[in-house]
């Protein structure tokens, strides 16, 4: 069992996809879901602590954001671009997308994503993905020079 679980902000407009990810995380003691949101605008408000998300007791700042790309109001790429303007040095962002297009992966990484994974429905692939994300989170955050 993990000493300290990583807190996750799960952002995906698909309720089914959030359910799959939540189930995968529930099977792994290294993560707790701090909140689930269904659009990029809500993700920005949450991370900024704005509006209904201003109470950090109720809406704690996450260690990692699991972010979908194709969402209403603001896309995952727009959230990543906004994050570039913020000073959340410890925050990690993992893209979980149905897209495996080279341009989506490249753009996500250029915008500062720490990792990119294709959404998987199979339990074994989900377990492998969660293990990879845990390894990533265990590494120190590298700051740009």
Are 82 and 91 a contacting pair, CB within 8 Å?
no
Q: Which residues pair with 95 in a beta bridge?
A: 67, 116
Please write the tens of the pLDDT for every residue from 43-89.
Answer: 999 999 999 999 999 999 999 999 999 999 999 999 999 999 999 98
The pLDDT of residue 142: 62
Q: How far is CA 130 from CA 9, 19, 96, 102, 145, in A?
A: 14, 15, 11, 22, 29
Instruction: Show the tokens assigned to 38.
Output: 């269904």
Please write the tens of the pLDDT for every residue from 23-49.
Answer: 888 887 788 999 999 999 999 999 999
pTM tops 0.75: yes
Domains located in the chain, CATH noted:
6-138 (3.40.50.2300)
End-to-end Cα distance, the chain:
35
Phi-psi region of 106 (alpha: psi -120 to 50; beta: other; left: phi over 0): alpha
């Amino acid at each position: 069992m993990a000493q300290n679980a990583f807190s996750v902000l799960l952002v995906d407009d698909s309720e089914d996809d959030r359910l799959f990810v939540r189930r995968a995380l529930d099977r792994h003691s290294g993560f707790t879901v701090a909140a689930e949101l269904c659009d990029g605008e809500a993700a920005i408000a949450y991370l900024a602590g704005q509006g209904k998300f201003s109470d950090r007791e109720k809406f704690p700042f996450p260690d990692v954001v699991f972010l979908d790309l194709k969402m209403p109001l603001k896309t995952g790429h727009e959230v990543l671009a906004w994050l570039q303007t913020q000073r959340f040095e410890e925050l990690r962002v993992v893209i979980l997308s149905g897209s495996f297009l080279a341009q989506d992966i490249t753009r996500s990484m250029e915008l500062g994503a720490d990792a990119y994974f294709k959404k998987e429905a199979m339990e074994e692939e989900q377990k492998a993905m969660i293990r990879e994300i845990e390894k990533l989170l265990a590494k120190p955050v590298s700051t740009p020079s």
